[in-house]
Structure 1
Amino acid sequence: MIVPETQMRIRTAVQDDDAALAELDRATWSTLHAVQPLPEPGAPFFDERHLPGHYLVAVDGGAVVGFVRVAPPTPLAATAHVRQIQGLAVAESARGKGVARALLRAAMDRAREEGAVRITLRVLGHNAPARALYASEGFAVEGVLPGEIFLDGAYVDDVLMGRSLRS
């Protein structure tokens, strides 16, 4: 997928993206969105649970400038019709250029291609920019787990959002 008005394209990640994605993950890490500790320098990005095929990457001028993880929410057959956004990051240099929106739309397209009829995500309550983006793309708040996450000395709401992929 090529994003209009840019040279950026979105493609499925490959194993060779590991170092670039690990670097991007560290560079974009913030308690605004991350519940895991800051990744260690040199730590691999991919592992047995985080496979390249679960990621879409935005590439601009040969550089990886963003990624989104879209995967089944559970291994259960009962949720096979659902995909979940499990991470979205955009390099500082690429922000404000529609990269996050393009990645989100590509994730929804990928989910539809895989037969999903619904997509969900979890976002921290204090992450207003992400919540606004998701809402603008048709995601609705479907639940809130008040004070579910403890970050930086404060309790933060875990906001559950979702939408149909049929529309």
Structure 2
Amino acid sequence: MIAPEIRIRVARLGDEPALAELDRVSWSPLHAVLPAPEGDEPFFDERHHPEDYLVAEVPEAGVVGFVRLVRAIPLPSNAHVRQIQGLVVGEAARGRGVARALVRAAMDRARRQGATRITLRVLGHNAPARALYEAEGFAVEGVLPGEFLLAGTYVDDVCMGRPLD
């Protein structure tokens, strides 16, 4: 169930400190293939723009989560597809429907952008995320076995997608 006090909006430049901190404290080998962010790295850069992010806010805590939604392949023949490239919810806000609200908002935004399909990639061992995506209509469309070596263990890269009709 999604808590009614969750507000989803497009990120603003002023969100950068909150998003960078959320990204830093929420980093986990359960979902990350990159090294843990250090405290001084910018959150927004030439490839990561505020308009690519939706943020979740709750009244008592401010920004508690974000999702990045982009065109995965910058080709005209792929313009109908959007990809979720990152979903983060702070520990204190988990279990309140924030991730579900962000995924649904990303799908709605993709539809408004003219997309007819949405995809994502999730690590094979991230059972909570996979369950959420499956509950929201995503299906496994492919698996890249042992695609990542994380903490000495080979981990599958699971490709998921769904139509936006």
Give the TM-score taking structure 2 as reference length. Answer: 0.97
Which blocks of at least 5 consecutive residues in structure 1 are unaligned? none
The match for 2:114 is: 115
Three-state SS of the structure 2 residue aligned to 1:105 is helix
Three-state SS of the structure 2 residue aligned to 1:103 is helix
Q: Distance in 2 between matches of 1:76 and 1:127?
A: 30
Three-state SS of the structure 2 residue aligned to 1:157 is strand
The match for 1:11 is: 9
The match for 1:60 is: 58
**Cα distance, 1:40 vs structure 2:** 1.0
Q: Tell me the alpha carbon deviations over residues 80-132 of structure 1, each in whole angstroms, 9 at most, x when there is no partner.
A: 00000000000111000000000000000000000000000000000000000
Which blocks of at least 5 consecutive residues in structure 2 are unaligned? none
Task: Give the 5 Å matches for 1:74-89.
Answer: 74-89=73-88
Q: Distance in 2 between matches of 1:30 and 1:85?
A: 18
Q: Distance in 2 between matches of 1:118 and 1:146?
A: 24
The match for 1:70 is: 69
Query: How many aligned positions are there?
Result: 164
Three-state SS of the structure 1 residue aligned to 2:8 is strand
Please state if 1:130 is matched with 2:135: no
Q: Distance in 1 between matches of 2:25 and 2:67?
A: 15
